[in-house]
């Protein structure tokens, strides 16, 4: 038997590594995790992917997959034993929405609770970042563009407590978002809820005391098995009949209230940019691979104004919703439409997106 044919470059406190690691464990994939400080990352990975970023998966055939979404897709295409894509149309689209909420919406909560409270958890962060002050400084410098400002912080904290209450009530009934099997929505939410909010001392204490069921779900997501001993009749797989549990609707409404108008404001900016610059298919979205934001947009978070960085990558996530929706038959589309309408999420289907974002050679390019 060959041991550990996959290598995952990542770190314990990294949001997107946490999401990918949890997925590898649930699939029973044999892997070893290495720090990006490893010489092979510097000598072989960095020249291939052209920017310092984690997670990076190196496959047995030596091919490289960067990006947590692409890592999950890589295994889904090969037939994952515990697929993260629910077969039901409503569950699938709701899972996409929560994937976006975890990746785009919740980086704000995650980065706030890590860096605004840096003094109260200094030893922990220093250890995690191996005392590298310049990396810590760079991470903390992202806060304003993520919408963490004195004006938004009260809304971010209120939002986080409300999210914990919604999830705590949901996990009292169901082990995962859609029943007995984790979906791309679970993995998307796990990124922030594990790496930052479920580990850094200040937010971890809030989670454990206010929402013990959420803390248990974080443990469950990191277990190699389904880890459901506290449920009397743990469901087998996703809930039948494409059911959306009642306890999940408040979560979708919560995500809608926070994702919009920010996403539509960013879309309008990016559409203008593409039209004005005459961006051509296949062209990288930014001048340098490490540059993710290509401009600033004035938008609001829960009514509080802030200037947000606009990253084309967000549209790469959004178009996954419309691509899957477009592939459905009319009855499935109608059931998805009714759910999104009821939860304030129909802009995901209705907003006109006159361009695409694809990934080629590990970076985002215009489609
Ligand atoms: N879209 C990427 C995002 C990855 C990402 O942002 N990784 C962070 C660590 S969690 C990183 O490497 N940041 C380096 C930096 O911003 O300098 C993914 O899903 O993998």
Cα–Cα dist 17/35, whole Å: 11
- Token pair in block for residue 292: 């993710």
What's the rounded mean pLDDT across residues 248-271?
A: 97
Place of tokens 């499935």: 332
Report the C-alpha gap between 251 and 160 in whole angstroms.
12
The answer, as to whether pTM is greater than 0.95, is yes
pLDDT tens for each residue of 41-95: 999 999 999 999 999 999 999 999 999 999 999 999 999 999 999 999 999 999 9
Distance CA 17, CA 54 (A): 7
How far apart (Å, rounded) are the C-alpha atoms in residues 179 and 239? 5
Contact 105, 160 (CB under 8 A): no
From ligand 1's centre to the CA of 68, what distance in Å?
A: 9
pLDDT at residue 1 tops 70:
no
Q: Which atom of ligand 1 is nearest to the CA of 14?
A: 10
277-315: burial string, b at 16+ Cβ within 10 Å, e else: eebeeeebbbeebeebbbeebebbbeebebebbbbbbbb
Residues with CB under 6 A from ligand 1: 14-16, 52-55, 67-69, 313
For the chain, which domains are there? Answer: 6-77 (3.40.30.10), 89-254 (1.20.1050.10), 262-366 (no CATH)
Closest atom of ligand 1 to CA, residue 191: 10
Cα 260 to Cα 263: distance, rounded to the nearest angstrom: 5
DSSP 9: E
Residue 17 Cα: closest atom of ligand 1: 10
Instruction: Compute the residue count for the chain.
Output: 367
What's the gap in Å between 244 CA and the centre of ligand 1?
Answer: 31
In tens, the pLDDT along 148-195 reads 999 999 999 999 999 999 999 999 999 999 999 999 999 999 999 999
């Amino acid at each position: 038997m060959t041991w550990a044919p996959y290598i995952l470059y990542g770190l314990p406190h990294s949001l997107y590594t946490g999401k990918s690691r949890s997925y590898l464990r649930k699939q029973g994939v044999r892997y070893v995790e290495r720090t990006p400080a490893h010489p092979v990352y510097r000598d072989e990975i960095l020249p291939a992917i052209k920017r310092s970023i984690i997670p990076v998966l190196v496959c047995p055939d030596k091919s490289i997959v960067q990006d947590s979404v692409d890592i999950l897709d890589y295994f889904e295409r090969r037939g994952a034993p515990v697929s993260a894509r629910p077969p039901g149309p409503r569950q699938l689209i709701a899972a996409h929405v929560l994937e976006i909420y975890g990746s785009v919406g919740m980086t704000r909560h995650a980065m706030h609770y890590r860096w605004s409270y840096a003094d109260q958890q200094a030893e922990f962060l220093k250890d995690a970042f191996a005392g590298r002050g310049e990396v810590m400084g760079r991470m903390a410098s992202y806060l304003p563009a993520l919408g963490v400002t004195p004006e938004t912080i009260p809304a971010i904290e209120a939002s986080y407590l409300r999210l914990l209450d919604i999830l705590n009530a949901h996990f009292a009934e169901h082990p995962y978002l859609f029943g007995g099997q984790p979906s791309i929505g679970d993995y998307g939410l796990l990124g922030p809820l594990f790496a930052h909010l479920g580990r850094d001392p200040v937010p971890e204490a809030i989670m454990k005391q206010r929402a013990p069921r959420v803390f248990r779900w974080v443990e469950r997501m990191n277990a190699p098995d389904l880890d459901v001993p506290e449920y009397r009749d743990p469901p087998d797989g996703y809930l039948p009949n494409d059911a959306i549990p009642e306890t999940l609707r408040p979560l979708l409404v919560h995500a809608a209230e926070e994702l919009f108008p920010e996403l539509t404001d960013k879309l309008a900016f990016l559409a203008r940019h593409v039209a004005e610059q005459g961006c051509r298919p296949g062209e990288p979205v930014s001048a340098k691979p490490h540059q993710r934001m290509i401009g600033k947009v004035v938008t609001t978070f829960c009514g509080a104004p802030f200037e947000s960085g606009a990253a084309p990558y967000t549209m790469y996530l959004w178009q996954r919703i419309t691509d899957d929706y477009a592939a459905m038959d009319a009855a499935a589309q109608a059931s998805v439409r009714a759910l999104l309408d009821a939860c304030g999420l129909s802009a995901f289907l209705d907003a006109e997106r006159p361009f695409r974002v694809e990934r080629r050679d590990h970076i985002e390019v215009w489609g």
